[in-house]
Copies of this chain bind each other. A is one copy, B any other.
Amino acid sequence: METRELRYFVAVAEEAHFGRAADRLGMSQPPLSRAIAQLERRLGVELLVRTPRGVTLTVAGRTLLSEGRAALAAVAAAERRTRRRAGTPHDSVVLTAKAGASSELMVKLLDAYATEPDAAEVEVVLSPPGHQAPMLRDGRADVAVLHRPFDDLSGFDITPLTTESQVLIVPAGHPLSTRVAMSVEEATSIPDLPLPRWPHLDGTYPEGPGPELHDLTQVLQLVRLGRTAVVLPESVQANLRDGLAVVRLLDAPQVTTVLAWPPHSTSGGVAGLVRTAERL
């Protein structure tokens, strides 16, 4: 199977429509139809059901969609990492983390690593929440600071950095602000304080009553104004100012901050960073 065929198939599967897919691929529809037909013939597998209104995926097609995406990401990663490795003759590493994430932890890690003999140059790339794992998958980054259970860690090697509980942040004057602890269920169903909605990777928001937000300070501002409440790892308490109250959550999942890197990493810099992290 060639990556060209995979790209074509993924496009058609995602668009559920040959015409739009061809458009997206910058080609015309007939060769695309032919390529997919040929792929099906070569695999000996029916991937799509042609309907008069577009196409649907078969079971096999769904498998190829998810596996194919992963395979394409792996190929893209190979290409990106090769290019980057060639660009910098000395060992260098791209580390990505959530913008506004626990910076004292990263400072500690980077400082400790910098003291190592022949430490590689570490370029830190801060990106919006949820973008770290994809960057690691497609080779834009070599290491990432991720958060379990929020990020999808599948396919990465990891070493834990810290673990913490989660807390509910409510406005200072709110009736619940005097509570010491509560359950997650109770926290998610406060009548007058709907939890905010965070954007998906593509920038869209889930349905629901809460406000659409994507920024920590923005959220805390809105909590202060009595418009929402929010569940966050307890380390945010370091950034809290007046007007906010913290309630422990008894049954919220622990949040683990991990250092993650792709398998088959040949970079000595990554290895050194991991070694340093494991000693912290």
Complex Cα–Cα for A59 and B91 (A): 10
Q: Which of A65-73, A143-151, A179-187, A191-199 contacts B (4 or more CB under 8 A)?
A: A65-73
Cβ–Cβ < 8 Å partners of A264 in chain B? 66-67, 69-70, 154-155
Cβ–Cβ < 8 Å partners of A3 in chain B? 1-3, 75
Closest CB in chain B relative to A108 CB, distance in Å: 26
Contact yes or no, B44 A83, CB < 8 A: yes
Contacting residue for A74 out of B74, B81, B139, CB 8 A: B74
Cβ–Cβ < 8 Å partners of A45 in chain B? 82-83, 86
Mark contacts of A1-39 with chain B using CB atoms, 8 A cut-off: 1 yes-contact digit, 0 otherwise.
111101000000000000000000000000000000000
**Interface check A116, CB cutoff 8 A:** no
Complex Cα–Cα for A110 and B124 (A): 46
Q: How many copies does the complex hold?
A: 2
Complex Cα–Cα for A2 and B70 (A): 15
**Interface check A227, CB cutoff 8 A:** no
Q: Name which residue of chain B comes closest to A79, CB basis.
A: B1
Which bucket holds chain A's interface residue count?
35 or more
Complex Cα–Cα for A262 and B263 (A): 12
Mark contacts of A35-78 with chain B using CB atoms, 8 A cut-off: 1 yes-contact digit, 0 otherwise.
00000000111110000000000111011101111110011011
Mark contacts of A81-98 with chain B using CB atoms, 8 A cut-off: 1 yes-contact digit, 0 otherwise.
111011001000000000
Complex Cα–Cα for A75 and B262 (A): 17
Given A3-B75, A71-B78, A157-B154, answer yes or no on A266-B86 (Cβ-Cβ < 8 Å).
no
Cβ–Cβ < 8 Å partners of A4 in chain B? 2
Closest CB in chain B relative to A17 CB, distance in Å: 21
Contact yes or no, A74 B82, CB < 8 A: no
Complex Cα–Cα for A276 and B78 (A): 36
Cβ–Cβ < 8 Å partners of A139 in chain B? 67
Complex Cα–Cα for A75 and B153 (A): 20
Cβ–Cβ < 8 Å partners of A82 in chain B? 43, 45, 47, 60, 63-64, 67
Residues in chain A within 8 A of chain B (CB atoms): 1-4, 6, 43-47, 58-60, 62-64, 66-71, 74-75, 77-79, 81-83, 85-86, 89, 139, 153-157, 262-264, 266
7 A–B pairs (Cβ distance < 8 Å), ordered by A: A1-B3, A1-B75, A64-B78, A67-B74, A71-B77, A74-B74, A155-B157
* Additional A-B contact list (17), CB under 8 Å, known A67-B139, A74-B74, A153-B157: A1-B75, A1-B79, A2-B2, A6-B75, A43-B82, A63-B81, A63-B85, A64-B78, A67-B266, A70-B78, A70-B264, A71-B74, A75-B75, A154-B157, A154-B263, A154-B264, A155-B155
